[in-house]
Amino acid sequence: MNKSMKATSISEIGAPSVLQSTQIQTPTPGKNQVLVKTAAVGVNFIETYQRSGVYPVQLPFIPGSEAAGTVVELGEAVHNIQVGQRVATASATHTYAEYFLVDAQKCVAIPDSVSDEDAAAVPLQGMTAHYLINSTFNVKAEHTVVFHAGAGGVGGIALQLLKAKGATVIATVSTDAKEKIAYSHGADHVVRYENFADRVLEITDEQGVDVVYDSVGKDTFDDSLRCLKKRGMMVLFGGASGQVPPLDPQKLNQLGSLFLTRPTLADYTLTRDEISWRMGDLFDAITAGTLTVTVDQVFPLKDAASAHEYLEARKTRGKVVLVP
């Protein structure tokens, strides 16, 4: 496609205001890629890290990896996708734009029953929740789980999927409003971060839980270990409060032969089959009404700076989406 398109890019590191509208050449798909006309873009924390310099990127840079849209052009080796098909992905590049490129193996078709905004909102947080509770630790009805930041994006989806599995879920949150959200997503117990380990031990008759999902990191890690049963699993998957310092493995022995893992989405979406399985389950749950995706705010693409400000203010009660 030989024409220009609108995009939002950063040409310097800094505050949200460095996100600026720009006009660039529409990209051409490589052999195994497709070109997609953007319908909606999912905004993620990683883009704020790239903008502010925490994760280095080469400037000028167009952020964004998650989006939904309609395929308009195919690379010469792509046979499994048609022009005109609606697709969603968590692993495209530069999706803060009117068109984006994605590897044909890394996108899935969107069913008619799922809207563009929901389809853009679900891939990254949804597949994260899916791999955490099905693959990192396969939660069953007999398990009791602690899920931190239960009113957040990953947390909100995970709680609903855990409820559908029949597990007992204890969520942590920071405010009354978030407590209501976590209950509405299916938590059995909602506790605050202060003394949460004591509360968890009280709720479980001092037994502890089978697995803790911890994305808060530095502030919660030690107490999360204390919440676990013997041979329980600690799943550390983020560091919203800061990264966890180095750990002496002896500690896992002293606290009851614990398991510790630090997983990441890329390692759980290695193949097209794996992505199709996870996204298929998520779309099926949305269609069946057992999973509600909360799109909290929709901003115009040219106003991506406001989306970043909103995310960084810890205000989100669901997904932030951009539309061109």
Q: Which parts of this chain interact with ligand NDP (CB under 6 A)?
A: 44-45, 124-125, 128, 149, 151-155, 173-174, 178, 215-216, 237-238, 240-241, 263-265, 314, 316
Provide DSSP, 264-285: -GGGG--SHHHHHHHHHHHHHH
Helix, coil or strand: residue 49 = helix
Q: How far is the CB of 296 from ligand NDP (least distance, A)?
A: 9
Q: How far apart are the first and last CA of the chain?
A: 18
User: How far apart are alpha carbons 251 and 234 in whole angstroms?
Assistant: 12
Query: Are 71 and 92 a contacting pair, CB within 8 Å?
Result: no
Q: How far is the CB of 49 from ligand NDP (least distance, A)?
A: 9
Nearest residue (CB) to ligand NDP, 119 versus 216 = 216
Nearest residue (CB) to ligand NDP, 8 versus 215 = 215
Nearest CA-CA partner of 161 in 142, 181, 141, 180: 141
Q: How far is the CB of 298 from ligand NDP (least distance, A)?
A: 16
**Position closest to ligand NDP via CB:** 152
Nearest residue (CB) to ligand NDP, 69 versus 152 = 152
The phi and psi torsions of 185 (rounded to 5 degrees) equal -85, -5
Burial class (CB in 10 A: 0-12, 13-18, 19+), 264: exposed
Q: How far is the CB of 317 from ligand NDP (least distance, A)?
A: 8
Q: How far is the CB of 265 from ligand NDP (least distance, A)?
A: 4
User: How far apart are alpha carbons 24 and 302 in whole angstroms?
Assistant: 14
Q: How far is the CB of 190 from ligand NDP (least distance, A)?
A: 10
Nearest residue (CB) to ligand NDP, 71 versus 127 = 127
Nearest residue (CB) to ligand NDP, 100 versus 237 = 237
Report, in angstroms and rounded to the nearest whole number, the Rg of the chain calculated over CA atoms.
Answer: 20
Nearest residue (CB) to ligand NDP, 44 versus 144 = 44
Nearest CA-CA partner of 323 in 97, 124, 85: 97
